[in-house]
Amino acid sequence: MNWVVELVLRVVAVLAFLVLTVLFLIWLERKVLGRIQMRMGPMRTAPYGVLQPVADALKLMTKEGLRPQGADTWVYHLGPVVAVLPALLVWVTIPFTGSLVVQDMRLGAFYIVAVSGVSVVGMVMAGWSSNNKYALLGAARSAAQMISYELPLVLALLGVVMLAQSLSLGDIVAQQSPWPYLLLQPLGFALFLVAGLAELARNPFDIYHADTEIVGGPFVEYSGIRWALFFMAEYVNLFAICALASLLFLGGWKGPLLPPILWFLVKTYAFVFFIIWLRAALPRLRIDQLMTLAWRYLVPLAFANILLNAFYLYFELPAWTLSLASLALLGVAVVPLYRHWSGRAVVKARLADRVGMSKAESQA
């Protein structure tokens, strides 16, 4: 019986932590974006506006939940639940420290990949059932995006799993001494970060929200607590990807002087800050650019990364060879990407387009 009580306590503790984290992330994002835009961000609700997300949450909870007339009722109501559940379930096996975890599964990494893949179903359900063209477009985009980027994400994770020879996140962190996998796997880290950003649909990959094109995507018809559930799912996913990045590549809770939990939070919040920073700095990609990046660059690179790891493990080479090879591959990969996005040929073509357009205008 004791273990049941302990498990329930752990689940409740993690849930409480996640709710508080979501509130804090919303506040942090608004503050950081505000400072980047040379504003103050929220200031009115409590000192430095720290209670602003609480006020927002209360507002959303008391707001009327509208449902469009032609909506598919059951699917419409289930959509947010299906989206938020996988986001929460992932946290069952993500460790904060060696002992602070709900359940350190032996197949933890596999479990995370399997469960997080379900959230796309929630998006599609929401988009389909809303009986709204923008929501449907958003749902189609989210399905395309999440399935495309699931592949490089999982393959990048596989590289780490190969090195650690374990699917348990606790073991993966334990293996990262003295050097974190970031040094052994710079290419894998870059792949994980880019694919993770796309999975989160954060800038520059917020294509299925795309407020300026499809007014919020799958959630356009949602309001009140259901909309808040989608919002919560997004922020929990954001924190999960950042936590995974710190666990898989930066050694998780390992570090000198500070207590382990603090190291975990510091590393995770460094990623969170980076992602918010990207949101302020970068414009949105087009859907074709998104697909090109995934299938022409990230997937082949992820396979190359796995091959590299296989060679390293099979021939039992020294660690520095893997670091160098991974770094070299990353460098090599940047060249065609650079040529594709902003190479001389692309710039010339753009200029030619512009000249052609101005000529056509002058003739008209």
Partner 1 sequence: MNGVFRALGTTFKTMLRHPVTVQYPDEQLPVSPRRRGFPRLLVDPEVGELRCSGCGICARHCLTQALKVTMKDNPNFAAGKSQRKKIVDKFELDVGQCTECAVCIEMCNSGGIEMTKEWCAPSTSRQGLRRDLAQQNGSAEAVH
Q: By the criterion CB under 8 A, which residues form the site for partner 1?
A: 32, 34-40, 43, 277-278, 280-282, 334, 337-338, 341-342
Min CB(48)–partner 1 separation in Å: 11
Cα 17 from Cα 92, distance rounded (Å) = 12
**Least distance from partner 1 to the Cβ atom of residue 28, Å:** 13
- Listing DSSP states for 1-33 in one string gives -HHHHHHHHHHHHHHHHHHHHHHHHHHHHHHHH
Q: Are 72 and 131 contacting, i.e. CB atoms less than 8 angstroms apart?
A: yes
Query: Closest approach of Cβ 212 to partner 1, in Å?
Result: 18
Q: CA–CA separation, 242 vs 240, rounded Å?
A: 5
CB of 349 to partner 1, least distance (A): 16
User: Within the chain, what is the greatest distance between any pair of CA atoms?
Assistant: 85
341-351 burial, b if ≥16 CB within 10 A, otherwise e? eeeeeeeeeee
Minimum CB distance to partner 1, residue 40 (Å): 5
Measured from the CB atom, the residue of 178 and 283 that comes closer to partner 1 is 283
- CB 34 → partner 1: shortest distance, Å? 7
H helices of 293-318, in order, are: 299-314
Residue 298 or 308: the one with the smaller Cβ distance to partner 1 is: 298
Is 103 or 342 the residue whose CB approaches partner 1 more closely?
342
**Shortest reach from residue 175's CB to partner 1, in Å:** 32
Q: Give the up-direction half-sphere exposure of residue 57: CA atoms within 13 A in the CB hemisphere.
A: 15
Nearer to partner 1, 61 or 349 (CB): 349
Does the N-terminal peptide bond of residue 204 adopt cis geometry, omega within 30 degrees of 0? Answer: yes
CB of 343 to partner 1, least distance (A): 9
The residue count for the chain: 364
Our CB check for partner 1 shows the closer of 33 and 144 to be 33
Q: Which is nearer to partner 1, 35 or 133 (CB)?
A: 35
Would you say 61 or 281 has its CB closer to partner 1?
A: 281
Q: Which two tokens stand for residue 203?
A: 């800038």
**CA distance linking residue 78 with residue 120, whole number of Å:** 13
Smallest distance from partner 1 to CB 116, Å: 27
Q: For residue 41, give Cα distances in angstroms to 30, 107, 231, 264, 283.
A: 6, 42, 19, 27, 21
Nearer to partner 1, 281 or 332 (CB): 281
Q: CA-CA distance, 327 to 85, in Å (whole number)?
A: 37
Choice between 17 and 277, CB closer to partner 1: 277
To 5 degrees, how large is the angle CA 139–CA 145–CA 150?
A: 125
* Contact (CB, 8 A) for 82 and 119: yes
DSSP state for residue 286 in the 8-state scheme: P
Copy the structure tokens of residue 257.
């002087």
Residue 174, classified by CB atoms within 10 Å of its CB into exposed (0-12), middle (13-18) or buried (19+), is middle
- Give me the least distance between CB of 338 and partner 1, in Å please: 5
Ramachandran angles phi, psi of 208, nearest 5°: -90, -10
Q: Is the dihedral of CA 333, 336, 342, 343 positive or negative?
A: positive
